[in-house]
């Protein structure tokens, strides 16, 4: 279909929107159509004609009262600045920014935003800025966000906001959390667009004084959250934006020194019991210790750790925090430990902030063995296995709290993954995991996380300690028959993770662990029969890793008089017979990794004298070309590609011909699935290569495809095809069948 034809369709669709908007029941269609129009405006060859059609529609829509038509017309005008001129008049006179329908209000602000550059004087005179300021209190978050985006763009275009407007802007912010969120969201947007305008606005509004007053007095948690978000944003970008805090803090009562002022606010938050926000501030400030506002203030991360330290029985004297601060913060935190709920909240907030710090690699300032011991002590307490210990009495409220346990474990996992620990720390972690895994009936979620941490520990720390290994062996054995599929799955995942990660670092698991894995070969094969497809898939991946380690599988094979062909047969059996795609995909992936990882495997596929291995694989791969799952088919093609890519095209062709795979590749060139076709095409091209005598069949196929306009005969532009399809749908809806359409839409899934 040519572009003029598409334009004609578009005009008809516009008619439907103006004349029969009730029939347009699916607004996703309109949103996607707008995407296409926006993109098309970028094409200079299309721009003028498209603008004419759009302008005609916008003119006709001005008399409409239907929100669908109005909203679409406004958003359409916002898609191209040249269309905005007439719309601004329309917006000024018709009060669409205050329309009853949120879609219309939202679209009005979108149009205003895009019109600022060309029509700022009109907007300035129209009073729409005042309307937008009121729009920050709109009942719809979407409208308020749009109004905020308009105001941010307005301020950043150099326009000024009067004193009375400032008053309206900040009115009720201290009481109305929704407005507070929108106003400070707008401020943040201003900073993101232009920090110089942001700083100017901050000064003009004397905003830091306002923020300080509220943070020290406001009791509304949601408002505090908004203000903390804003402060955190400023602090994190303070250096990039070159914020002159001294000047901005002139109006503030407590201090003109940024660090002092910010710390004072944090102390106030803690004093007033807003622990979650206190830790969020401290943790975020801590991310600037390298070269930001809080440079060299490494004690911040220690402060975040303090509740964990105290809860786990640590004493002040052994804590790395300047003495004065330590005394003050310890006594302030002690107040939070007076009741059960505030104790739990304080420890949880601390843990959440520590997870955040670990993810941002800001935990390195704490000595690893210290946090490790404390964290393990806390875990033992929450899991009620602490026995006689030094925990303070308030910490007993943490016993049995699954949230604290899980967050502590997540912290442990993040620490294992983000920093290099001392050997002793890993030993502690492994022992702790073993201990906690041996507890009676923990939740499957906790077991899975513990197994992940255990895997990380084993990979990082090669220990010859046989006692721990014996325990691991017992745990894994019992978990393989656990009624929860999640636990069985994580157990197989642990094996494959340990083996693949040690392989990547050219390492070897310690000998006692190799013994464990040797005993694991049989159970892993049994896992291929598990009732849960995810577990079968993980068992297959574990098997794939095991059979790349001769030191693990050889003794098992000898003891059971097995040969590689038996294992290959297991994998092929899954590929051919498993009812679920997930294990079938894993089966092909195992064959793929064995091409490089299993000694002699690649050769056995290309040699005709190793039929016992070769024929079941070729047979399974040949059958998998018709798999219902396109990813299985793609993996099969990946397999052929990997098998042949290092060979000359003649040799590669010969390998594929001998494997009877050439027909499969050619067939895949016409597969209904695009990704399968693309992969087949890649193989075909590699086979054509630069060989002097390219294989005729495959080249012929490629030539045919290219003559059809690409692989699989797709439309020249799927971008236009999508739009045409949407336009046809819109027009068809407008043609009637509204009752059916309505019930169809309602009959959702």
Partner 1 sequence: MSDIKVVPLGAGQDVGRSCILLYIGGKRIMLDCGMHMGFNDQRRFPDFSYIGAGPVTEYIDCVIISHFHLDHCGALPYFTEMYGYDGPIYMTHPTKAICPILLEDYRKITVEKKGETDFFTSAMIKTCMKKVVAVNLHQTVQVDDELEIKPYYAGHVLGAAMFRIKVGSQSAVYTGDYNMTPDRHLGAAWIDKCKPDLLITESTYATTIRDSKRCRERDFLLKVHEVIEAGGKILIPVFALGRAQELCILLETFWERMNLKAPIYFSTGLTEKANHYYKLFISWTNQKIKSTFVQRNMFEFKHIKPFERSFADNPGPMVVFATPGMLHAGLSLNIFKKWAHDKRNMLIMPGYCVAGTVGHKVLTGQKKIEIDKKTVIDVQLSVEYMSFSAHADAKGIMQLIRMCEPRNVLLVHGEEKKMEFLKNQIEKEFHISCTFPANGEMVTIETDPRIEIDVDAKLLAYAGGKIKSDSSVPKRLRADLDGDDRVLEGILVMRESGMTLMEPQQALKELGLMEQQLRFTTRLGVPQSAPPLKVLSQRLSGMLKGAFEDCDFRVMPDGSIGIASVMIQHTQGADPLKGEEDRELHVSWSYQDDDLGSEIASCTEDFLRTTSL
| Contact positions with partner 1 (CB under 8 A) in 345-364 | 349, 352, 355-356
Q: Which two tokens stand for residue 604?
A: 């056995």
Candidates 80, 149, 530, 631; binder of partner 1 (CB under 8 A) is 631
117 binds partner 1 (CB under 8 A): no
In whole angstroms, the minimum distance from the beta carbon of 129 to partner 1 comes to 22
| Number of neighbouring beta carbons within 10 Å of residue 139 | 9
229 binds partner 1 (CB under 8 A): yes
Among the listed ranges 27-35, 212-220, 382-390, 508-516, the one in contact with partner 1 (CB under 8 A) is 27-35
In whole angstroms, the minimum distance from the beta carbon of 66 to partner 1 comes to 13
CA atoms within 13 A on the CB side of 295: 5
Are 722 and 3 in contact, with CB atoms under 8 Å apart? no
Q: Which two tokens stand for residue 398?
A: 């943490």
Binding-site string for partner 1 from residue 263 to residue 282, where x marks contact by CB under 8 A and - marks none: -------------x---x--
554 vs 703, beta carbon nearer partner 1: 703
Among the listed ranges 338-346, 567-575, 679-687, 690-698, the one in contact with partner 1 (CB under 8 A) is 338-346
Candidates 118, 418, 443, 650; binder of partner 1 (CB under 8 A) is 443
In whole angstroms, the minimum distance from the beta carbon of 238 to partner 1 comes to 17
579 binds partner 1 (CB under 8 A): yes
15 binds partner 1 (CB under 8 A): no
CA distance 524 to 495: 10
CA distance 707 to 713: 9
Of 276, 444, 443, nearest to 344 (Cα)?
Answer: 276
733 binds partner 1 (CB under 8 A): yes
> In which residue are the tokens 């020249």 written?
716
Among the listed ranges 89-97, 253-261, 301-309, 486-494, the one in contact with partner 1 (CB under 8 A) is 486-494
Candidates 92, 140, 268, 466; binder of partner 1 (CB under 8 A) is 140
579 vs 646, beta carbon nearer partner 1: 579
Alpha helices in 505-647 (DSSP H): 511-527, 533-546, 550-559, 564-577, 581-597, 601-606, 611-624, 630-644
Q: Please give the residues from 666 up to 725 whose contact with partner 1 meets the rule CB under 8 A.
A: 672-675, 708-709, 712-716, 721-722, 724-725
In whole angstroms, the minimum distance from the beta carbon of 632 to partner 1 comes to 11
Where does residue 507 fall: left (phi above 0), alpha (psi -120 to 50 degrees), or beta otherwise? beta
**Whole-Å CA distances, 499 to 154, 423, 460, 522, 543:** 57, 20, 12, 16, 10
Q: Which two tokens stand for residue 422?
A: 């001392």
Dihedral through CA 7, CA 12, CA 14, CA 16, nearest 10? Answer: -160
Candidates 46, 47, 60, 233; binder of partner 1 (CB under 8 A) is 233
In whole angstroms, the minimum distance from the beta carbon of 565 to partner 1 comes to 28
Candidates 306, 363, 588, 726; binder of partner 1 (CB under 8 A) is 726
607 DSSP 8-state letter:
-
Candidates 65, 341, 393, 441; binder of partner 1 (CB under 8 A) is 341
In whole angstroms, the minimum distance from the beta carbon of 600 to partner 1 comes to 30
Alpha helices in 383-443 (DSSP H): 402-418, 423-437
In whole angstroms, the minimum distance from the beta carbon of 746 to partner 1 comes to 5
CA distance 269 to 278: 6
Among the listed ranges 80-88, 139-147, 159-167, 193-201, the one in contact with partner 1 (CB under 8 A) is 139-147
696 vs 743, beta carbon nearer partner 1: 743
CA atoms within 13 A on the CB side of 58: 25
448 binds partner 1 (CB under 8 A): yes
Among the listed ranges 466-474, 496-504, 596-604, 734-742, the one in contact with partner 1 (CB under 8 A) is 734-742
740 binds partner 1 (CB under 8 A): yes
146 vs 377, beta carbon nearer partner 1: 146
In whole angstroms, the minimum distance from the beta carbon of 515 to partner 1 comes to 28
403 binds partner 1 (CB under 8 A): yes
Candidates 489, 530, 570, 701; binder of partner 1 (CB under 8 A) is 489
In whole angstroms, the minimum distance from the beta carbon of 159 to partner 1 comes to 26
Q: Please give the residues from 54 up to 113 whose contact with partner 1 meets the rule CB under 8 A.
A: 102
CA distance 17 to 20: 6
Of 643, 685, 682, 688, nearest to 661 (Cα)?
Answer: 643
5 binds partner 1 (CB under 8 A): no
Exposure letters 176-203 (e unless 16+ CB within 10 A, then b): bbbbbbbbbbbbbbbbeebbebbbebbe
In whole angstroms, the minimum distance from the beta carbon of 315 to partner 1 comes to 28
737 binds partner 1 (CB under 8 A): yes
Of 97, 99, 95, 94, nearest to 113 (Cα)?
Answer: 97
Candidates 227, 344, 454, 480; binder of partner 1 (CB under 8 A) is 344
232 binds partner 1 (CB under 8 A): yes
587 vs 643, beta carbon nearer partner 1: 587
Candidates 630, 650, 688, 694; binder of partner 1 (CB under 8 A) is 630
In whole angstroms, the minimum distance from the beta carbon of 579 to partner 1 comes to 5
The distance between the two most distant Cα atoms of the chain, rounded to a whole number of Å, is: 91
418 binds partner 1 (CB under 8 A): no
Among the listed ranges 29-37, 83-91, 328-336, 559-567, the one in contact with partner 1 (CB under 8 A) is 29-37
Query: CB within 8 A of 441, min separation 6: which ones?
Result: none
Are 593 and 544 in contact, with CB atoms under 8 Å apart? yes
Helix or strand run (H / E) with residue 342: helix 340-359
Q: Please give the residues from 523 up to 552 whose contact with partner 1 meets the rule CB under 8 A.
A: 534
Are 255 and 307 in contact, with CB atoms under 8 Å apart? no
115 vs 405, beta carbon nearer partner 1: 405
Residues 337, 262, 189, 70, CA torsion sign: positive
Residues 263, 267, 268, 270, CA torsion sign: positive
Q: Please give the residues from 598 up to 627 whose contact with partner 1 meets the rule CB under 8 A.
A: 626
Of 725, 721, 720, 728, nearest to 13 (Cα)?
Answer: 728
Q: Which two tokens stand for residue 194?
A: 């232009």
**Whole-Å CA distances, 386 to 374, 390, 396, 435, 637:** 12, 9, 10, 11, 55
Number of residues that bind partner 1 (CB under 8 A): 80
631 vs 664, beta carbon nearer partner 1: 631
515 vs 580, beta carbon nearer partner 1: 580
45 vs 748, beta carbon nearer partner 1: 748
Rg (CA), the chain: 33
Binding-site string for partner 1 from residue 163 to residue 202, where x marks contact by CB under 8 A and - marks none: ---------------x------------------------
């Amino acid at each position: 279909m040519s572009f003029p034809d598409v334009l004609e369709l578009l005009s008809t669709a516009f008619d439907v929107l103006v004349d029969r908007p009730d029939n347009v029941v699916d607004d996703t269609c309109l949103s996607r159509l707008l995407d296409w129009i926006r993109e098309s405006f970028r094409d200079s060859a299309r721009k003028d004609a498209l603008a004419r059609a759009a302008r005609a529609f916008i003119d006709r829509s001005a008399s409409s009262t239907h929100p669908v038509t109005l909203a679409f017309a406004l958003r359409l005008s916002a898609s191209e600045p040249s269309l905005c001129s007439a719309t601004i008049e329309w917006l000024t006179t018709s009060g669409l920014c205050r329309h009853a329908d949120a879609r219309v209000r939202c679209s009005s602000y979108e149009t205003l935003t895009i019109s600022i550059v060309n029509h700022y004087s009109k907007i300035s005179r129209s009073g729409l800025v005042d309307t937008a300021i009121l729009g920050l209190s709109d009942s719809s978050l979407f409208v308020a966000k749009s109004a905020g985006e308009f105001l941010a763009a307005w301020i950043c275009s150099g326009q000024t906001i009067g004193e009375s407007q400032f008053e309206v802007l900040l009115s009720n912010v201290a009481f109305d959390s929704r407005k507070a969120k929108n106003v400070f969201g707008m401020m943040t947007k201003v900073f993101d667009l232009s920090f110089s305008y942001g700083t100017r606005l901050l000064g003009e509004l004397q905003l830091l004084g306002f923020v300080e007053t509220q943070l020290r007095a406001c009791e509304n948690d949601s408002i505090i959250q908004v203000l903390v978000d804003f402060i955190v944003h400023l602090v994190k970008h303070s250096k990039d934006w070159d914020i002159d805090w001294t000047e901005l803090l002139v109006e503030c009562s407590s201090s003109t020194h940024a660090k002092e002022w910010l710390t004072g606010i944090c102390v106030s938050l803690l004093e007033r019991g807003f622990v979650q926000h206190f830790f969020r501030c401290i943790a975020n400030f801590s991310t600037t210790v390298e070269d930001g506002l809080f440079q060299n203030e490494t004690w911040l991360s220690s402060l975040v750790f303090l509740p964990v330290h105290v809860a786990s029985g640590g004493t002040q004297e052994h804590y790395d925090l300047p003495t004065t601060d330590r005394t003050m913060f310890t006594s302030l935190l002690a107040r939070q430990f007076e009741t059960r709920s505030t104790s739990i909240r304080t420890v949880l907030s601390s843990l959440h902030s520590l997870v955040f710090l670990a993810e941002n690699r800001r935990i390195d300032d704490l000595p690893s063995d210290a946090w490790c011991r404390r964290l393990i002590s806390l875990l033992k307490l929450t899991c009620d296995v602490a026995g006689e210990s030094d925990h303070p009495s308030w910490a007993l409220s943490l016993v049995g709290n699954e949230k604290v346990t899980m967050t502590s474990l997540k912290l442990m996992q993040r620490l294992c993954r983000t920093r290099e620990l001392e050997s002793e720390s890993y030993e502690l972690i492994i022992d702790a995991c073993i201990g906690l895994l041996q507890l009676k009936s923990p939740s499957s979620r906790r077991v899975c996380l513990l197994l992940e941490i255990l895997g990380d520990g084993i990979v990082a720390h090669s220990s010859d300690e046989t006692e721990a290994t014996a325990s691991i062996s017992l745990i894994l054995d019992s978990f393989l028959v656990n009624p929860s599929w999640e636990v069985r799955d994580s157990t197989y995942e642990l094996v494959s993770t340990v083996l693949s990660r040690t392989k990547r670092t050219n390492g070897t698991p310690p000998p006692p662990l190799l013994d464990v894995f040797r005993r694991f070969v049989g159970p892993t094969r049994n896992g291929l029969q598990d009732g849960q497809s995810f577990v079968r898939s993980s068992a297959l991946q574990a098997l794939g890793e095991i059979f790349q380690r001769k030191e693990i599988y050889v003794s098992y094979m000898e003891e059971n008089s097995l040969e590689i062909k038996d294992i290959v047969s297991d994998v092929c059996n899954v590929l051919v017979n498993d009812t679920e795609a997930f294990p079938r995909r894993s089966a092909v992936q195992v064959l793929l990794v064995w091409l490089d990882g299993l000694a002699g495997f690649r050769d056995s596929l290309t040699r005709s004298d190793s039929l016992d291995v070769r024929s079941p694989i070729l047979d399974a791969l040949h059958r998998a070309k018709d798999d219902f799952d396109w990813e299985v088919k793609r993996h099969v093609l990946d397999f052929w590609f990997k098998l042949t890519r290092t060979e000359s095209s003649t040799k590669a062709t010969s390998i594929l011909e001998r494997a009877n795979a050439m027909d499969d590749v050619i067939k895949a060139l016409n597969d209904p699935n695009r990704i399968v076709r693309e992969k087949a095409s890649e193989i075909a091209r590699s086979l054509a290569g630069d060989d002097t005598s390219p294989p005729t069949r495959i080249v012929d196929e490629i030539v045919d495809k290219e003559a059809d306009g690409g692989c699989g005969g797709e439309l020249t532009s799927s971008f236009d095809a999508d739009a045409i399809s949407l336009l046809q749908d819109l027009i068809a809806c407008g043609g009637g069948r509204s009752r059916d359409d309505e019930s169809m839409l309602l009959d959702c899934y």
